Amino acid sequence: MTYDLYIGDRTFSSWSLRGWLMFEKFNIPCRTHMAGLYSGTLKQDLAELAPARYVPVMRTPDGIVVGDTLAMAETLAERHSDAGLWPTDPAARALARWLVAEMHSGFMALRNECPMQLLHQYDGFAVSDAVQADLNRLQDIWALARNRHGADGPWLFGQYSLADVFYAPVAARIAGYALPMDKACAAYVTTHLQDPAFRKWRAEGLKVSYDPVPYALDLPTGDWPQSLT
């Protein structure tokens, strides 16, 4: 039973990264379709999936269309209860859901001022007070998850879960703009950067070139980091 997953440009579409990781990391079969997020064809590419307007969006094997990453996550967790999308411990699962919901609705300064881009690392990005507040909050909640429930692995709740899916684009933003993080959080970001699934996603994105490059800043750039530690 195979799903259909519609995504946007891998190098820039943070929400598409979330959607793809839900399938890739939990071994749920899907066919991936590209929608023209930056080419102007998004509306026609998603026409048969109405009322979907944005990527990612999925169609289940029985033909149900589900948009929005939070709805997709819960639908997949419901349909694949043995895949381990959520932590098994009730307290860990409740906190994981909280962190996912907060990511889904918050951190607007980080999102707006640091759009995800997987091309390079900017040198000299000026961190605003609002972005720093978001980074401080990330450090607090990541430390809470790791300290309470992360003893059996490198991810927020030890083993990979939907919480890590939702924070993968955040890790990419921290890496891409060289944002300041404490040692423990830098190690967590590095875990994402070195994850084979993340690297596979980025490598596919780099096969496409852009002129002009979306979200480009007038700053020096360096190589994409392999580690922050």
Which string of DSSP letters, residue by residue, matches 80-105? -TTS-SS-SSHHHHHHHHHHHHHHHH
pLDDT score at 6: 98
Domain around 197 = 90-205
159 shares its domain with 184: yes
Please indicate, yes or no, whether residues 7 and 57 belong to a single structural domain of this protein.
Answer: yes
Q: Residue 229: what pLDDT?
A: 84
User: Are 9 and 68 in the same domain?
Assistant: yes
The verdict on 102 and 131 lying in the same domain is: yes
pLDDT of residue 106: 97
Residue 30 host element (H or E): strand 30-34
Among candidate residues 18, 47, 79, the one where a domain is terminated: 79
Q: What confidence score (pLDDT) does residue 35 get? A: 96
User: DSSP H helical segments within 27-128, as ranges?
Assistant: 42-45, 69-79, 90-105, 108-113
Instruction: Output the pLDDT for position 165.
Output: 98
Number of domains into which the chain is organized:
2
pLDDT of residue 164: 98
Residues of the chain with pLDDT under 70: none
Quick one: pLDDT at residue 38? 86
